[in-house]
């Protein structure tokens, strides 16, 4: 199978608005201002991720080209120090950089371990397994209110520091107080 040409890839990505199952890299929440820093870089990462999906949608045997796109996307994001969305990171194998599509390049199983339900995704290329906890109350750090830039203290404000003493100092102070009384 010959690799798909980039013009055909452009048409495929535009026609599908991405691939139906693809997740777009969302950079809008990265900064407070409306202008996104490195917007072109995020667009390029988004294109590479969608291109990998498109290649596998057209021809599931073309895993190497999809792997190349995912590897390129990862190296660009590392070189420019850009954070990828957790949903994108979950769908790319950390070992072989293969796009993890259930039934095509990965298997997905539900496991119960020590009373905790987990989703286990296994890459069919290299055999790496990724367990994900099925806890509806669990939130990623990026989804928590403390992680948002708007909720961070301003530079001119001093952060609130609690007046607690370390345990050793507190214990030593209590012993001195006990001896004095």
Digit-coded pLDDT (tens) for 77-102: 999 999 898 889 999 999 999 999 99
Dig out the tokens for 34 from the structure. Answer: 């409306």
pLDDT at 21: 41
Question: Which residues, other chains included, contact 120 with Cβ-Cβ below 8 Å and sequence gap of 6+?
Answer: 108, 109, 110, 111, 129, 130, 131, 132
pLDDT > 70 fraction of the chain, expressed in percent and rounded: 65
Distance, CA of 24 to CA of 30 (rounded, Å): 14
Chain segment 148-163, per-residue pLDDT in tens: 777 777 766 565 555 5
Say which residue, 34 or 64, is predicted with more confidence. 64
> Are 48 and 69 within 8 A, CB to CB?
yes
pLDDT for the residue 9: 52
pLDDT tier at 69 (50, 70, 90 boundaries)?
A: very high
Per-residue pLDDT band for 177 (boundaries 50, 70, 90) equals low
The DSSP-derived string for 133-158 is E--TT---GGGSGGGSGGGSPPSSSP
97-109 pLDDT, tens per residue? 999 999 999 999 9
SS3 sequence, 19-56? CCCCCCCCCCCCCCCCCCCCHHHHHHHHHHHHHHHHHH
Q: What is the band of 1 on the pLDDT scale with cuts at 50, 70, 90?
A: very low
pLDDT at 20 over 90: no
Contact 120, 111 (CB under 8 A): yes
């Amino acid at each position: 199978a010959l690799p798909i040409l980039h013009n055909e890839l452009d048409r495929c990505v535009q026609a599908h608005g991405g691939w139906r199952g693809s997740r777009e890299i969302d950079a809008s929440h990265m900064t407070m201002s409306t202008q996104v820093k490195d917007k072109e870089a995020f667009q390029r990462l988004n294109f590479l991720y969608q291109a990998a999906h498109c290649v596998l949608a057209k021809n599931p045997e073309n895993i190497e080209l999809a792997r190349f796109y995912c590897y390129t996307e990862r190296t660009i994001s590392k070189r420019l120090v850009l954070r990828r969305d957790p949903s994108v990171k979950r769908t790319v194998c950390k070992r072989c950089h293969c796009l993890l599509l259930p039934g095509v390049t990965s298997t997905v199983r539900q496991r119960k371990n020590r009373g905790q339900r987990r989703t286990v995704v296994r890459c069919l290329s290299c055999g790496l397994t990724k367990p994900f906890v099925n806890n509806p109350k669990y939130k990623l750090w990026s989804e928590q209110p403390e992680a948002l830039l708007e909720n961070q203290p301003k530079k001119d404000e001093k952060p609130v520091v609690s007046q607690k003493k370390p345990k050793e100092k507190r214990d030593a102070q209590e012993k001195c107080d006990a001896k004095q009384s």
